[in-house]
Structure 1
Amino acid sequence: SSAVVLPGTSAALPQKAALPAAATAAAAVSHMLQVEVSVAGVLVTAAYGANETQIRTILAGATQTGATQTGTASGSSASTTAAVSGPSATQGVLSSGSELVTGQAGTAQAASAQATAAQQAAPAAATARVSGLTGSGLGFDTCTVPSAATMTSWLSSPYRVAATYLGGMNWACSYGNFTPAWVRKVAAEGWRFAPLWVGRQAPCTNVPFVAKINPSQAAAEGQSEAKSAVAAARAFGFGPGTPVYFDMEGYQTGQSACTRAVLNFLGGWTRGLHAAGYVSGVYSSASSGITDLAHQYGNAGYPRPDDIWIADWNSEPVLTDHAVPNGDWANHQRLHQYAGPHNETWGGATVNMDSDAADGLVAGLPAVPVLHGPNESAAPSELRVAPGQTARVRLTLQGVPNTPVAVRWQAAAPKGLTVSPSAGNVDLWPSMALSVGLTLAPSKSLAARRYSLPITVTAGGKPVADSFVLVSVVPAGRTLPPAHPLVLYAADKTSMSAAVAIAAALALPLSDVTGSYSRAWTATAVGKALVLAVGQPAADALYFNVCGWANPAKRKAGSTPFYYPGAPQRQSPGRNYFELSDTPTAAGTAQLTTQLTQYALGGTLPEHQTVPAAPTLACLGSPNVPVR
C-alpha cells in the first residue's frame, strides 16, 4: 500500500524513530497514526488494530505515485487515510445496511475508500460553505449515501435531512457516492445533513468483534476520535459550526465501569469537537447511551453533547422519548431514529433506509436572502368578492439599493375578472416605494370558484418579481369548500381570530376552523384533511401535548404520534401529519397562515415567505377555544 500525495511533490514518510513523540503517544491511545507531510500539503491518517509495526512499515514506504489529483488552492490541505488489515485485523460486515465493521480483535478502517474520498475532498476544504444550522423535518439514514441523481428524485419525498457517514475505525460501509462534489450539489438542492462518525464502542457493547474503548484511556480516545472526525468533516466541506454525531451503538446496562468509560469517552469527544469549533452530537440507543447521558444532564462538571440522536424504533416520528425528560436538550437539540431498515421509493428511485425525525442541529447551506430585483407585494393576497361586485387590492413596489431601475408591472387577470389599472410603467429609485390601488371586478356571470391573479414585474424585458392574489368569487352568504379537506386549528384566542378572518377571506365554511384539541387530533390521525396548526399553542399541542390535554388516543403528556413535513402542502401527506403555521408573533402567524392556505387552495405562494417556528416543549393555550 502507498499513501498518495499531491502531483508535483515527492515525499517519504518518516520511519518510527522519526515520528514525533506526540504521534507515538497518541497512537498508543487511539490506534491511529497521523503524519503531516508539509511539503505535499497532506495529512495521512492511518488506523490499525494490534499491528502497529505493520502500519508504520506501510507509512515508511509511502512515496509519490503519480496521482491524477488536481492541486489544491493556496493554503488548503489534503487528508489521506490508510488502514491495515491482517491476521489481527480481519474485516467483516454485519449485514446489509449496517454501519459497523466487525472482525477479530483490532478492527481497522477500509483503506482504499477512506483514502480516495479524502483525496477528492481536498479542494473543498479551503472553501467549505456547509455549516451548522437548525433543521426540522423528516430525515433518513443509510449505510452509503444514494447517488446525486437519486437525491434529486427524492425531492418528491417528505424527507429533507440525510445522514452522511464521515468514517471511523468501526465503520463497515464505503463512501461510494459521497464526495465533496456530492455534498455541494445536494446541499444546493436544499438537502441538509446529519454527519456521523463510527468510532470505538463501549467495552460492554452488544456488537461483537469491534474496536472498543480502553477504560483507562477513554477521555483521551474520545478526543482523538474527535480530531479524526473533524479532519474528515473539513475534507468533505463541512465547516466550523457543523455538528458531528458519534455513533455509540447499544451496550449492556447496569455495568457501572462500562457506563463510566462511555461517559468519559463521550466527554472527550465533546471537548475535542468544541476545541476545533465543531458541535458535539451523540447517536445512541434510548435504553443505553441516551439514558446514561440524560442522567448526567444536570451535572455541571460533565461536558454533555450539544445534541442527541435517539435510537428508539417506536414508529413515532416525534422528539419526545421516555429516556429523556422534556426539559433536557429541549431547545431544538434532538433527532430521533424511529424506524429501522426498510425500502422506500420516491421519484422512481428506491433506497433502503432508516427513518428519522429532526428538530436539532444539522449541516446545510444557510438561507441567505438574495435581492434579484424590485420587491413586490399585494395586500390582501386573499379575498372574496361576489359576482358583479368590486374589491380593492393595493400593489406595492420597492426599488433595489443604490440603483434606479425602470420596471413594468402587469396583472394577468383570468377571463371574466377585470383589473383596473391592469399594467403600469415606473422608474423605481433606491429609496422609493410605489403604491398602486387596483380594483377587481368579476362579471355577474363569472362562475363561483377561486381564481389566481398573478401580478408580474419585469425589468429589461425579464421577469424579476411575482405576487399572487387568490380571489374567491362567490355570492354573498355562500361558501366555497376546498377541493381537498382543510382544517385550521387554533388553541389561543389571538390565533383563532386570525384563522376565522382568513377563512372568511377565502369563503371557507366556518366548520373548517376548530378550537377543539380532540377534533384536531382526530383529523390529524385520520389524515384525510390538511391540518394547519395556527399559532404556537396549537403547534406545541399537536407535536408534544406538554399540557396533557385529553385526546382520543388517551396519550399522556409529552408525546403525540404526529409530525410535520417541514414544507408547504397542497393536501394532507397522510396519517399523523399536520402543517406548522406558527411564528413568535401574531402578525407573522397570520401572514404565514395566509401563505399556506393560498398554496393549499390555489397552488401559489406569495414571493416573500414567512418561516414557521418549530414547536417547543411548552404548555400554552387551551384545549377548547370558541370559534368566533
Structure 2
Amino acid sequence: MQVPASWPVYDLTADPSRCVLFDQHAVYLGTPGVDQNCPPRAYGRTEALLIQPEQASVPAGTQELGTDTAAFSGPMNANETTRHTVQFTAPGPGVEVTATYGSGAAQIRSILSGARMTAKSAAKAPAAGNAQAVPATRTAGSSGSSAAANTSSASATSELSVQQAQGLGVDTCTVPSAATMSDWLASPYRVISTYLGGANWACTYGDFSASWVSQVAAEGWQFIPIWVGPQASCTQLTNTTVIDPSNAAAQGAAEAASAVAAAQEFGYGQGTPIYYDMESYNNSDSACSQATLTFLGAWTAGLHSAGYLSGVYSSAATGIADLASQYTNSAYQSPDDVWFADWNDNPVLTNPYAPAADWQGAIMHQYYGSHDETWGGATLSLDSDVVDAAVAGEPGTATGQPTVTDEPAEVAVTPGNAGRTQLKIQAGSKLSTIHWQVQPPAGITVSPSSGIAIVSGSGQVGISLNVTGASSLASGRYDVPITVTVNGKQTTGTYLLVSDGTAIASSVVLYAADTSSMAIAQLEAQQLALPASNLTGDFATAWADDASGNDLVIAVGVAASNALFHNACGWANPANEAIGHTPFGYPSVPLTAGTGGVFEGADLSTDAANQALSEQFAQYALAGTIPNESAAQPLGSLTPADTCLGSASVPVP
C-alpha cells in the first residue's frame, strides 16, 4: 500500500503499548496490544490504516478478497459509510486491514484500490506466553466477533444483565487487559466503561472481547456500555461525523440498531443499558439542539423496541440541560439514565442542569478529567465517575465473589506485646473455597498467618488475628498485606496498618465538629500513632491547616464536612469569611498530602461508615494502601449540606 509520506508508520510488535488511534493519519502494523497506553477519550475519524495478521475467523461483514483490490474503486456500502470504516481480509498475504476515513473517503478508496498483493511469508512462531499469540482484539468499526475463541461470543459467556451500580467508575478509551483489571481490584473502583463502537470512536477494542467480559465480570466488575455515533451538527469536535438535521430521527434509530448488534456480540443481554456519547455542543443554536434532541429521542425509542435501556452521556451544560428541558414532556422519549460531565472534582450526583426530581437513581457524574492512577502496580489513564445508575454485569455480580467486608484498619502494639483484630469474609452467591494469608514484615508476627474456609450463600467467616510486635520493634508504621484467593484466584488484597504506639510526625490532620465524630477521630489518631497536635475539634485550626496546603485535613463526620464546605454556622475563621462560604472543596480520590483548599470528607450517614471511610483516607495518606477494598465499601463522600450541625470548638478527650 502506498500512503502519503507524512503518515507515520508504527510497528505494534516492537511497541505493543502504542495506542491505535483513528483520529490521526497513521499506519499501524501488527496486532493492537492488550494494554495500550491510550488517552481516556479520543473522538473522530480521519484517514488511517491498521494492518494486522489475519485472524482465525473473519469478523461478520468483512470482505474477503481474492487476488486484486479493484472492488475498492466502487461506491462504499451502507455499513462502511455509517461507520466510516472499511474492513477486509487478504488471505494471499495473510493480513486483515481496517481503513478509516473522515472527509477523505476518496483518498482512502484510492489507497485501497491501489494496493498490491504479495505472497504470504512464513510467520515467525510467537514466543511462549506471548499475549499476542492468540489475539482477542476487535478492530474499531467491525460488526462481527473478535477472534476465533469468540466467534460465538454470546453463547460462549453468561449473558450480562442490568444491575444498579453505586460507587466509583473508571472511563478509559480502550479497555485494560484482563490482567490489569485483576490488578485494579486493589482500587476503590468497580465499574468501567466499555466502548462498543460507533463512527466517532477513535480507539480500538484492545483486549475487549466476550471472554474478557466474562472473566472480568466474574471478578465483580460492572460495565457501562458506550456507543459513539454521529455528533451534534454544532459540535465543538473536529474530524467527526455529524447528525443530518433533516434525517435526525432515522439516524438515531439506525445507531440504536447498530449499538444493539454490537452489544449482543459481547454478551450484553436485553434489559442492559447502552449509553450514547454525545459530546458538548453549542446549544445556543436552537436548530442544532432540536435536531440533537430528535436524534436522541429516536435512539431511546430504538433501544426500547429492542428490549434495551437507553442512556446518554453529555456535558451537563449542553446535552444534559437540553434533555432535562424535555423530561416532563410526555411526547418525548427521555433516556432511562443520564451521565453528565462536569469536571469540578466533586463526586456528587447533583447538578444545576439536572433537577433533583429527574433521573432519581439513574444518574452518573464524570467529575475528574484526564489523569493517571496506579493500583496493584498497574497504571491507567482515565476519567473518574461517581455512579448511581443502571449498568451491565454478570447476574449476581454484587454478591458473586466473596469479599473482605470488615477488619479494623489499624492496630497499635507496643514492643513485646500483642493486639487483636478480626478479618471478616462475606460469602458470595456460590460455594467457594477461600484461602487467606498474612505477610507481615520483620518485627511483626501475626497468628494465625493463613487459613482455609468454605463459605456459601449468606455465610460469613470471622478470623481473629493476634498481632505481636517484637521486643526490638522500631518506632514506625508497618503495612501488613493480607491476600484472599477464591478457588485459587486472588480476588482481594487488603492491608492492616500496625504502629508501635509511639507518636510519629505526619501531615494528616483529623478534624471533628461533634462529640461522636471526635470519639472516632481520637481512636483513629491513637491507632495511627498520630501526635496529639494532629487531632483537632477547632474550626479555625482546621481552616488554617487546610488553607496552608501543608496538611491533609480529613473531616470526620457530617458536621465537620458541612462546616469546611459551607461554614453554615458562621463560625470565626482566619480569613474572616462570612457565613455560608468557604474556599474549600474535596475530591473522593484518596490523597497522600494536602494541596491547599482541599479536604477529604468522611461524611457518610452513620458513625460506622464514617469510621471506615476515615480509616481508608488516613491509611492511604500514610501508607499508600486502602485497608478495606471490598466492593461493598467504595471510597466516596456525600455532598456537604449548608446545614449547621456541630460546634465551633469540640474538646479533644
Q: Classify the TM-score, shorter chain.
A: 0.5 to 0.7
Residue 69 (str. 1) matches residue 57 (str. 2): yes
Kindly indicate whether residue 148 of structure 2 is the aligned counterpart of residue 124 of structure 1. Answer: no
CA contact (8 A) 2:588 2:637 kept: no
Match of 1:501 among 517, 523, 527: 523
Contact 1:197 1:247 in 2 (8 A): yes
- Secondary structure in structure 1 of the residue aligned to 2:503: coil
Residue 368 (structure 1) aligned to one of 393, 399, 415: 399
Secondary structure of residue in 1 paired with 2:610: helix
Give SS of 2:608's match.
helix
Counterpart in the other structure of 1:73? none
1:230 and 2:273 matched: no
Q: TM-score, normalised by structure 1?
A: 0.60
Aligned-partner residue type, residue 69 of structure 1: S
Distance in 2 (CA, whole Å) between partners of 1:592 and 1:384 is: 19
Given that 2:146 and 2:209 are in contact with CA atoms closer than 8 Å, whether structure 1 keeps it comes out as no
Partner of 1:51: none
Residues in 2 aligned to 1:154 and 1:506: alpha-carbon distance in whole angstroms: 26
> Are 1:480 and 2:503 counterparts?
yes
Give CA-to-partner distance per residue, 1:388-416, whole Å, 9 cap, x none: 8x67647689999999x9x999997965x
C-alpha separation between the residues in 1 aligned to 2:644 and 2:630? 29
Q: CA deviation at 1:170?
A: 4.6
Other structure's SS at 2:340 match: strand
**1:288 aligned counterpart, secondary structure:** helix
* Residue identity (%): 38
Alpha-carbon distance between aligned partners in 1 of 2:287 and 2:349, rounded to the nearest angstrom: 30
Q: CA deviation at 1:263?
A: 2.3
How far apart are residue 227 of structure 1 and its match? 3.0
Contact 1:312/1:337 (8 A) holds in 2? yes
| Residues 302 and 235 (structure 1), Cα distance of their counterparts in 2 relative to 1, 3 Å cut | same
Equivalence for 1:605: 627
| Structure 1: gaps (5+ residues) | 1-65, 71-77, 94-99
CA distance in structure 2 between the aligned counterparts of 1:535 and 1:448, rounded to whole angstroms: 30
Letter in 2 for 1:509: P
Aligned to 2:323: 293
* Structure 1 CA distance for aligned equivalents of residues 512 and 266 of structure 2: 44
Deviations 1:93-150 (A, max 9, x none): 9xxxxxx9743899x9x998433654546533232348655364474444x5566678
1: CA distance, partners of 2:460 / 2:195: 50
Q: Is the 8 A contact 2:438 2:480 kept in 1?
A: no
Tell me which amino acid in the other structure corresponds to 1:481: I
Change (3 A) 1:530 1:160: farther
Gaps in structure 2 of 5+ consecutive residues: 1-53, 64-71, 86-99, 113-137
| Separation in 2, partners of 1:364, 1:102 | 34
Residues 493 and 625, structure 1, Cα contact 8 Å, conserved in 2: no
Indicate the RMSD between aligned Cα atoms, in angstroms: 6.2
Name the residue aligned to 2:366.
336
Give, in whole Å, the separation in 2 of the partners of 1:598 and 1:118.
44
For residue 586 of structure 2, what is the aligned residue in structure 1?
Answer: 562
Q: How does 1:84-483 map to 2 (within 5 A)?
A: 85=76, 102-103=102-103, 113-115=140-142, 117-118=144-145, 120=147, 122-126=151-155, 127=157, 128-129=159-160, 132-134=163-165, 136-137=167-168, 139-142=170-173, 163-171=193-201, 174-175=204-205, 178-184=208-214, 193-202=223-232, 205=235, 210-214=241-245, 218-219=248-249, 221-240=251-270, 242-299=272-329, 302-311=332-341, 323-325=353-355, 328-329=358-359, 331=361, 333-336=363-366, 339=369, 355-361=383-389, 362-363=391-392, 366-368=397-399, 370-371=401-402, 382-384=410-412, 393=420, 443=471, 447-450=474-477, 472-474=499-501, 480-482=503-505
Cα 1:325–1:519 change in 2 (3 A) is farther
User: What amino acid maps onto 2:586 in structure 1?
Assistant: F
What is the aligned residue count? 526
Name the CA distance, whole Å, in 2 between partners of 1:309 and 1:531.
30
Post-superposition offset of 1:241: 5.2
Which structure has the greater CA radius of gyration? 1
Q: Name the CA distance, whole Å, in 2 between partners of 1:214 and 1:429.
A: 58
Distance 2:297 2:60 in 1: 26
- Measure how far apart 1:233 and its partner are: 1.6
1:589 corresponds, among 583, 598, 610, to: 610
Work out whether 1:626 is the aligned partner of 2:650.
yes
- 8 Å contact from structure 1 (residues 488, 499) kept in 2: yes
**What's the CA shift string for 1:61-92, capped at 9, x where partnerless?**
xxxxx99439xxxxxxx965899638995998
SS of alignment partner, residue 153 of structure 2:
helix
Q: Which moved more, 1:267-276 or 1:323-332?
A: 323-332
Conserved 8 A contact 1:580-1:612? no
Task: Give me the whole-angstrom Cα distance separating, in 1, the residues matched to 2:619 and 2:351.
Answer: 35
How far is the alpha carbon of 1:376 from its aligned partner? Answer: 11
- Tell me the amino acid that sits aligned with residue 563 of structure 1: P
For the Cα contact (< 8 Å) 2:277–2:314, is it kept in 1? yes
Q: From the superposition, tell whether residues 132 and 604 of structure 1 become closer, same or farther in structure 2 (CA, over 3 Å).
A: closer
How far did residue 500 of structure 1 move? 2.0
Pair 499,371 (structure 1): closer, same or farther in 2 beyond 3 Å = same
- Which of 535, 550, 555 does residue 513 from structure 1 map onto? 535
What SS does the aligned partner of 2:510 have? strand
Paired AA for residue 358 in structure 1 = V
1:248 & 1:457 partners in 2: Cα distance? 41
Secondary structure at the aligned position of 1:564 is classed as coil
Specify whether residues 395 and 516 from structure 1 end up closer, same or farther in structure 2 by C-alpha distance, changes over 3 A only. closer
The amino acid of 1:615's aligned partner reads S
Contact kept, 8 Å, 1:336 with 1:358, in 2: the verdict is yes
- Deviation by residue 1:246-273 (Cα, 9 ceiling, x = unmatched): 1224444345444333323323323443
SS at 2:142 equivalent: helix
Output the CA distance in 2 between the equivalents of 1:545 and 1:89: 53
TM-score (norm 2): 0.58
Aligned letter for 1:103? S
